[in-house]
Structure 1
């Protein structure tokens, strides 16, 4: 190889390395670690983004994991924040206790979130909870108050497990608890389909399906009786709270959920995405990331 060719090759490799270093996918590698909940359950935590930026903690929903937030973790718009995700108990890479009480008592989920905040040394984080993640935020607010956080975003969040706020799907929830593997996996697939008004590409949906199939069966049998007192949680919240719901949500009734939350706390703001189902952060990620960025900037401590 001539010296000129060699120099060109070196220059090309340097350009490629620079581009890779700037790409969101590489920036999103971050770090992973585990923290221990007070009852001994190991919680898998992931971090990326700007370690010096305002902290944002993402809390996924039922049958999810940190993978649900890929379109936020890989967003150039959100790269200036310290982005923290974790797998809730019974999900993903976190511990999966067999005791049903480990899931039905909402205080355990609140303790998990508190352990993540403490272990990550996250100062005044913004909490972002999807679906069941909204219940986790409410339980956290009830037990720990809102002094440790800057604000909270409920994304198609469950405000209360009441018939007027939750769309019934008895056959699907029955199948999720079936001891027959085929029936169970079909129930997982059908539940996941209900999460979207516009389904993501096949590769993404397949990954999320595999992700959902990892969830603990013990958790699925117990979680529908999880405790939550939205009146004590949202009613006393003094930090900014934003509700983002997809108007086409097939799992949570958005109008009823928003109305209930704002009845408890009139200061709560809301946004309704006309084209989204239960997962607007996946279905309309650019809009969601923009709205989230504005909220974080307005809510962060000064």
Structure 2
């Protein structure tokens, strides 16, 4: 009898714990201009929502070291593939990528479609610019905080180091040259280069990205003062000190000029992708920041 009751109690506890965690979910939401966006979820169904926004040439697969870390499983982890990337729609019109409101509407569509209440937005690289677009268009009433990771603050020469040959090759009409440019761009993302399997997956990510998007996205104007400058929620910036694609000091100086209340963390052993290069530290810092918002 006692053994039976013990088994029933263990089963009840197991089912209760399982109910607290969402199975990985994959679904689609549609942005304001009809672009379908692929959304993914894992973690605790009733946890603090965190929405991850990847960078140029990426997809939700960029966040695998966050998805797999037990430290973050108590949060509701939500990612989506940006327009022109991964499994999301890839419109051909240039305005689909140069108009900041389109990117802002994508984030709003994910928040609404997922039903996330007061999420933390985590934007890496281009995703940082998307953070600012969202803040400019929608304000911060529907979110709890914002994390910028090696973010594109503005597309200016002082903030974006020159790699003219790489960027030229990335938009070449010649497939071999184009793929070589994608590879070289990804190499520049890292101070600590990833293992072969990870790099190959990231390169496949890049090959899925829209060529049209890559050609025109440098024309995008980042809504910095209207977005970050007006944010009242907590804002944290994390940069790898050895970033070769974004100048950390120039970017942080510009961010502080419009919002002196931002917090900053610098990772001495990371390049452009600290969440992949120093994932344990990044995940601890992310968890601490998310918990501070509750």
The answer for the alignment partner of 1:201 in structure 2 is 195
SS in 2 for 1:235: helix
Alpha-carbon distance in structure 2 between the residues aligned to 1:103 and 1:258: 25
| Aligned residue number for residue 82 of structure 2 | 88
Q: Residue 219 of structure 1 aligns to a residue in which SS?
A: helix
Aligned pairs for 1:94-109 within 5 A: 94-109=88-103
Please give the TM-score of this superposition, normalised by the length of structure 1: 0.90
Structure 1 residue ranges (4+ consecutive) displaced by more than 2 angstroms after TM superposition: none
Distance 2:215 2:22 in 1: 34
- Distance in 2 (CA, whole Å) between partners of 1:207 and 1:102 is 26
Alignment-derived partner of residue 55 in structure 1: 49
SS in 1 for 2:230: coil
- Give how far 1:191 is off: 0.3
TM-score, length basis structure 2: 0.92
Structure 2 spans left out of the alignment, 5+ residues: 1-13
CA RMSD of aligned residues (A): 1.3
Kept after mapping to 1: 8 A contact 2:22/2:44? no
Q: Is the 8 A contact 1:28 1:74 kept in 2?
A: no
Tell me how many residue pairs correspond in the alignment. Answer: 277
Q: Is the 8 A contact 2:22 2:45 kept in 1?
A: no
User: Displacement of 1:29 after TM fit?
Assistant: 5.6
- Matching residue of 2:206: 212
- What are the equivalent positions in structure 2 for 1:122-271 lying under 5 Å apart? 122-271=116-265
CA distance in structure 2 between the partners assigned to 1:215 and 1:122 by the alignment: 27
Distance in 1, matches of 2:262 and 2:215, equals 32
CA–CA distance in 2 between the matches of 1:197 and 1:209? Answer: 17
- Offset at 1:227? 2.1
Unaligned runs of 5+ in 1: 1-17
Mapped to 2, the partners of 1:256 and 1:271 lie a distance apart of 15
SS of the equivalent of 2:271 reads coil
Following superposition of structure 1 onto structure 2, how do residues 281-292 of structure 1 map, counting pairs within 5 Å? 281-292=275-286
Q: Residues 160-195 of structure 1, C-alpha deviation per residue, up to 9 Å, x if partnerless?
A: 111111111111111111000000000000000000
What's the counterpart of residue 67 of structure 2? 73
